[in-house]
């Protein structure tokens, strides 16, 4: 083990990147390839939390077995958020980024590190929001900058949020939710900021689980609001989320997928 990896073994990393997967070897390979500059860089670590895959997943990760800042853990779990919580417990970074299987890192290690060092110099920040590139199933791309934090909507993609490790280790994902636990964790944050890095940090596939199951997603969003907010703030959030749910569910029921993709690109 060289001096860089010796240092890595003895100290915390700056950023832990956590990927959850199960029987998705091809998309995992794409994610791993996007992180090639990060391996053996003592400022970062990559954890792959596998739900006991039976495909080629172990073959995909085998070449990284001797990489000092790569961890592969294969064990049964109770779903994606349970696996993410296990990744949190095993991580040792000061910040955490959840990069889904199939999504890709775009930013360079030095640029991410510079941004996070600026955040570290400030008072405690629970979540730092970055820009991201949204990728449609047809391959079209759109870069989206983070919005001002509002309780009724995520300010950026979950895969473009960098979390304080102290915050996530204290809060964790609520495994009662199957689709919207990322929104629940966001709404429980008390300090949210926008990253100084303007370029997109990740490339994110837009057609995920939440997109394919809008009825379940919005039901969970409304439940999360009712459990975390009170008074007028809760009423405003539930009204806005409920109105958006009606529009989204109606459009997905009536319009072809190609039209929906065009509407997303125009928004």
* Digit-coded pLDDT (tens) for 99-146: 999 999 999 999 999 999 999 887 789 999 999 999 877 778 899 999
Pick from 179, 258, 259: nearest CA to 213: 179
Query: Tell me, what's the pLDDT at 123?
Result: 74
Q: How far apart are CA 71 and CA 61, in angstroms?
A: 9
Query: Tell me, what's the pLDDT at 86?
Result: 97
Per-residue pLDDT tens for 181-229?
999 999 999 999 999 999 999 999 876 555 556 788 899 999 999 999 9
Q: What is the dihedral of CA 88, 91, 92, 93, to 10 degrees?
A: -70
Residue tagged 């975390």 (tokens): 228
Query: Tell me, what's the pLDDT at 138?
Result: 74
How would residue 8 be classed by pLDDT, with cut points 50, 70 and 90? Answer: very low
Q: How far apart are CA 201 and CA 109, in angstroms?
A: 10
Q: How far apart are CA 127 and CA 129, in angstroms?
A: 6
- Domains of the chain by start residue, with CATH: 3-208 (3.90.550.10)
Query: Tell me, what's the pLDDT at 258?
Result: 54
Q: How far apart are CA 85 and CA 150, in angstroms?
A: 25
Per-residue pLDDT tens for 37-76?
999 899 999 999 999 999 999 999 999 999 999 999 999 9
- pLDDT: is 25 or 5 the higher one? 25
Query: Tell me, what's the pLDDT at 133?
Result: 97
**Residues sharing a CB contact under 8 Å with residue 261, sequence separation 6 or more, in sequence order:** 136, 137, 138, 140
DSSP string, 114-128: HHHHHHHHSS--SEE
- pLDDT: is 254 or 250 the higher one? 250
Check: CB of residue 218 under 8 Å from CB of residue 177. no
């Amino acid at each position: 083990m060289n001096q860089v990896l010796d240092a890595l073994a003895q100290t915390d990393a700056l950023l832990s990147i956590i990927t959850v997967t199960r029987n998705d070897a091809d998309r995992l390979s794409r994610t791993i390839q996007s992180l090639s500059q990060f391996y053996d860089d003592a400022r970062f670590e990559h954890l792959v939390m596998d739900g006991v895959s039976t495909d080629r997943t172990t073959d995909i990760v085998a070449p990284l077995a001797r990489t000092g800042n790569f961890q592969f853990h294969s064990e049964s779990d109770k779903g994606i958020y349970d696996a993410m919580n296990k990744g949190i417990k095993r991580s040792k970074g000061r910040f955490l980024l959840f990069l889904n299987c199939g999504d890709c890192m775009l930013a360079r290690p030095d640029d991410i590190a510079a941004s996070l060092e600026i955040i570290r110099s400030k008072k405690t920040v629970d979540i730092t929001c970055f820009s991201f590139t949204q990728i449609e199933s047809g391959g079209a791309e759109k870069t989206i900058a983070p919005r001002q934090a509002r309780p009724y909507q995520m300010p950026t993609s979950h895969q473009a949020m960098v979390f304080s490790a102290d915050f996530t280790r204290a809060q964790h994902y609520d495994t009662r939710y199957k689709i919207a636990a990322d929104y629940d964790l966001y709404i429980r944050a008390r300090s949210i900021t926008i990253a100084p890095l303007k370029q997109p940090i990740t490339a994110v596939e837009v057609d995920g689980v939440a997109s394919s199951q809008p009825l379940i997603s919005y039901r969970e969003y409304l439940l999360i609001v009712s459990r975390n907010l009170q008074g007028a703030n809760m009423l405003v959030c539930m009204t806005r989320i409920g109105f958006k749910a009606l529009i989204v569910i109606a459009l997905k029921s009536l319009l072809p997928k190609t039209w929906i993709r065009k509407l997303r690109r125009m928004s």
